Amino acid sequence: MTPVPAIVRDGMAEPLLEFRNVSKRYPDFALDDVSFSLPRGYIGGLIGPNGAGKTTIVKLLLNLVGRDGGWITVAGLDPVDDEVTVKRRIGFVHEVPSYYEHLSLDAIGRVVGRFYLDWDRALFASLLREFDLPARSRFGSLSRGMRTKGALALALAHRAELLVLDEPTAGLDPVFRRALLERLSAYVAEGRASVLISTHVTSDLERLADFITYVRAGRVVLSATRDELAERWALVRGGPALLDEETRGLLAGYERSAHAVTGLTSDAPALRRLLSGRDAVVERATLEDIMFYMGRSC
């Protein structure tokens, strides 16, 4: 089982979202023994290649598909047993937001607002203005980026405790993309809400996410805090001689060519000690490096 990270900030350790040993089987794909958690007041990143199972995890959380095993809790409640209460606390932005194409954002806001006790009409209107969205245009006439902004406004306007964003930055212009990431940081800063971002664009998460869960082929292969990743994970570069038995034991993956070796380690301090005085460079690993090199040996 993958360890469930638990850290304390300002005395808070309560996981707002927790997956424990969750499994889901399809005829051609299986999500197996998925465990991770996200405390209140933090941003979690769910990364992995296409088809890794990230969207299935999001679907399980929203009860769009039924799980075959394990436990999921949101603020201690099961999304299946307490579906309505849990969904009141979740704001969801899908990769391709789909609402009624013939309705305006204004009308969609009126429809959606009735479902939430904490719906803030004024906030929704101000978000539409802030995001530069035409309130009276048909949803179907909006660009993909504008749809995402609209979905985000809907999710924020009911003051969700858990924002779940599935590939949120796809289709967004760079200016709004940066503004969005800043807004998400501000959203969790009060310590009341958390954000789970599922994406394969790891650059979005480098500075933003407090927790990273890496999913590959339906399994969680890494779940850690950003600080743990920075301390423990590193990239090492050197000549072919670098790849001896001792070094190889400390590498989580590597790539070798005729003249060079690039490897990934999950124990940077030990590797630094081992390579002290040798002709090798140990540097910080980005999330993309981790995704690329983990489990690689060629």
Write out the residues near another protein by the rule CB under 8 A.
59, 62-66, 83-85, 87-88, 90, 92, 94, 96-103, 107, 110-112, 114-116
- Residue 62 CB, shortest distance to another protein, in Å, is 6
| Closer Cβ to another protein, 163 or 222, answer by number | 163
- Residue 274 CB, shortest distance to another protein, in Å, is 49
| Beta carbons of 123 and 157 less than 8 angstroms apart | yes
CA proximity to 283, closest of 226, 218, 237: 237
- Residue 58 CB, shortest distance to another protein, in Å, is 10
94: left (phi over 0), alpha (psi -120 to 50) or beta: beta
| Closer Cβ to another protein, 161 or 289, answer by number | 161
Q: Is 8 exposed, middle or buried (CB count within 10 Å of its CB: 0-12, 13-18, 19+)? A: exposed
- Residue 102 CB, shortest distance to another protein, in Å, is 5
Interatomic CA distance for residues 57 and 73, integer angstroms: 13
Judged by DSSP in three states, 43 sits in strand
| Beta carbons of 226 and 210 less than 8 angstroms apart | yes
| Beta carbons of 253 and 297 less than 8 angstroms apart | yes
- Residue 47 CB, shortest distance to another protein, in Å, is 22
- Residue 234 CB, shortest distance to another protein, in Å, is 39
Interatomic CA distance for residues 9 and 15, integer angstroms: 12
- Residue 14 CB, shortest distance to another protein, in Å, is 22
Interatomic CA distance for residues 188 and 190, integer angstroms: 6
- Residue 194 CB, shortest distance to another protein, in Å, is 17
Q: Which two tokens mark 265?
A: 């380690």
| Beta carbons of 226 and 59 less than 8 angstroms apart | no
Interatomic CA distance for residues 104 and 125, integer angstroms: 13
Q: Residues 87, 91, 94, 97: is their CA dihedral positive or negative?
A: positive
Degrees, nearest 5: CA angle 106-109-114: 140
Interatomic CA distance for residues 128 and 249, integer angstroms: 53
Report the residue count for the chain: 298
